[in-house]
Structure 1
Amino acid sequence: MSRITTPFGHDSTAAEVIAGVDLTGRRGVVTGGASGIGVETARALASAGAEVTLAVRNTAAGERTAAGIIESTGNNHVFVAPIELADRESVKAFAANWDGPLHILVNNAGVMAEPLNRTPEGWEHQFATNHLGHFGLALGLHDALAAAGDARIVAVSSSAHRRSDVHLDDLHFEHRPYEPWLSYGQSKTANVLFAVEASKRWASDGIVANSLMPGGIRTALQRHIAPDLLTQWEAEYGWKTVEQGAATSVLLAASPLVQGVTGRYFEDNNEALPNMPGESTGVAAYALDPESAARLWDLSIDLLNS
């Protein structure tokens, strides 16, 4: 299986990636579309003619964002719908209210390295938001995705997936000390594993699923991170702009360069190489493990149905 590469790289922007792409007649959903790279992902899709729905917690912020996207793109088919990913009833309601085919689902929203917080079910909040919410959303929208005939799911992961495999016997830190970064890393590994398994289970429905690392982008996602650590990151790695950070999501959501590609993990607009010890790039082998992906899928269904 050869590695997928494109002419785009670390510094490419969403606008550059989508230049010349026509998404007229296609419909997309971007979770977390009112902030950070979600805004630029939605803007790029709208600029190519797609109908875009911003699935957001704060609908007032979503409406302001939608108005800005409409103004900048001239595409007035930009809508807003409420969703709280950590609330399975909210996720079910979003899916139930969707009508017609769905061509693009960008699972973009997330929380990072927050203090221990649990949902009413007792689920650890980062895992519930970053993985279970998006997993439930994709399941709820499956028929709409299948109706599109050639739908794409984009799971926004992170290089932080290399901090932790998914602990299938203790997903919610019930039997081990809670650590914010281990929790975040586990949830981001889960995003990759979701794409691995969805690419198999839903291939016959014409649905492809890929995951990605967007890069380091200074956004509200880091609100729980100490300022001195953010300064250290900037000195060591630098920050991408939000336009650059959205590029890989847009590539996987819309570019003909990755037509039919599925079950892969991308960074900087190219399929990632395996992570090697001591390196700060690449994908961990455990995040692509098919057995873990299948087990996580079944466990996730059991949790959502519990």
Structure 2
Amino acid sequence: MNTFDSPFTAASTALEVVRGVDLTGRTAVVTGAASGIGIETARALAHAGADVTIAVRDVDAGHRVAGDITRSSGGAVVQVRPLDLADLSAVDRFTGEWSGPLHLLVNNAGIMMTPELRTPLGWELQFATNHLGHAALAIGLHGALAAAGGARIVSLSSSGHGMSDIVYEDLFFRQRPYDAGHAYGQSKTANALFAVGATRRWAADGITANAVMPGGIWTNLQRHWDPSVLAATKAQVAAAGMSAKTPEQGAATSVFAAASPLLDGVGGLYLEDCHEAEVVPAIIDGVSGVRPYAVDPENADRLWDVTLDLLGGARRSVS
């Protein structure tokens, strides 16, 4: 892949990526920025001069993070607003209250390998939170993104997409036994496909979207893993001579997608280690590459239509 020539690597940090980048006058929303790589994503964008809004469920934690970023950046503007992506009314409230253009939307929040949980609408929680909530957020903010001119959306995917394509016939595990890994996998495939679909539809409005694989990072995202499985996985990684990224390194590709001049007007890609990923038949070493179905335009179009139907039906049911 050589859509662009990036100078950054897996070891680069978010602050290194924005060195020399001026985001003064630009607005950014980062979901899930009260923990993990979301904090470092918001920090780097703020350090580069962006006016950052942290959109989080835990507002108190968000305010603590905002204060830390303000101090570390020398006075950056960091706002905190409540957002529960599993609650469409909360998403609609967030988008309805937004005013002015939005230059950067980083759909960073996510949940992983949860027990079988559902929203009040009966949607499986990982797909509802990771994909449907973020899709509703982006669609609701489309006007603000279009008004910005050259806006970017960053969609956080994962090598976990390799566990499952979208199972349209049973998105919410109503017919098949629930599998936490497969549920997570299809939600991350959906995140990658959303970047393809949004770029295809919105590039004419000056909006591009790219999907991001942050890399292997131990954060609170793994809190639902069985402790013995988590310990064994960490041991296997260490035995293979591999090392996990720090949160600062994990945020680098998100920040690259949001801020690098190399991606001006470029969308629909799946990025890892600040480069375009190779399309592969199977994920290499459990981490690298993107499966063909996760960047397939026809698959993206199908998911887009299904997503609009689900969101529209949900809103009609409560109107």
Please give the range of the TM-score, normalised by the shorter of the 2 chains.
over 0.9
Relative to structure 2, which stretch is displaced further, 291-300 or 243-252? 291-300
**Residue number in structure 1 paired with 2:7:** 7
Rounded Cα–Cα distance in structure 2 between residues aligned with 1:155 and 1:265: 9
Q: In structure 2, the residue corresponding to 1:301 is in which secondary structure?
A: helix
Q: Tell me the percent identity.
A: 59
Deviations 1:228-285 (A, max 9, x none): 3323333424211000000000000001122221000001110000124462310000
- Paired AA for residue 160 in structure 1: G
**Residue number in structure 1 paired with 2:98:** 98
Deviations 1:163-222 (A, max 9, x none): 000111211111111100000000000000000000010011000100010011111110
- Counterpart pick for 1:273 among 272, 278, 292: 278
**Residue number in structure 2 paired with 1:241:** 246
Work out whether 1:26 is the aligned partner of 2:35.
no
Say how many residue pairs are matched: 306
Work out whether 1:292 is the aligned partner of 2:295.
no
Rounded Cα–Cα distance in structure 2 between residues aligned with 1:260 and 1:196: 13
- Paired AA for residue 243 in structure 1: E
Rounded Cα–Cα distance in structure 1 between residues aligned with 2:8 and 2:254: 12
**Residue number in structure 2 paired with 1:304:** 311
Alpha carbons 1:49, 1:75 under 8 Å: kept:
no
TM-score (norm 1): 0.98
Q: Which runs of 5+ in 1 are unaligned?
A: none
Q: In structure 2, the residue corresponding to 1:274 is in which secondary structure?
A: coil
Q: In structure 2, the residue corresponding to 1:303 is in which secondary structure?
A: helix
Alpha carbons 2:150, 2:264 under 8 Å: kept:
no
Q: Which runs of 5+ in 2 are unaligned?
A: 314-319
Q: CA RMSD in A?
A: 1.2
TM-score (norm 2): 0.94
**Residue number in structure 1 paired with 2:193:** 193
Work out whether 1:214 is the aligned partner of 2:219.
no
Rounded Cα–Cα distance in structure 2 between residues aligned with 1:178 and 1:111: 16
Q: In structure 2, the residue corresponding to 1:202 is in which secondary structure?
A: helix
Relative to structure 2, which stretch is displaced further, 257-266 or 244-253? 257-266
Rounded Cα–Cα distance in structure 2 between residues aligned with 1:2 and 1:251: 16
**Residue number in structure 2 paired with 1:77:** 77
- Counterpart pick for 2:289 among 270, 274, 282: 282
- Paired AA for residue 193 in structure 1: L
Q: CA deviation at 1:2?
A: 4.2
**Residue number in structure 2 paired with 1:173:** 173
Alpha carbons 1:5, 1:269 under 8 Å: kept:
no
Q: In structure 1, the residue corresponding to 2:71 is in which secondary structure?
A: helix
**Residue number in structure 1 paired with 2:259:** 254
**Residue number in structure 2 paired with 1:157:** 157
Alpha carbons 2:283, 2:291 under 8 Å: kept:
no
Rounded Cα–Cα distance in structure 1 between residues aligned with 2:227 and 2:281: 29
Alpha carbons 2:47, 2:76 under 8 Å: kept:
no
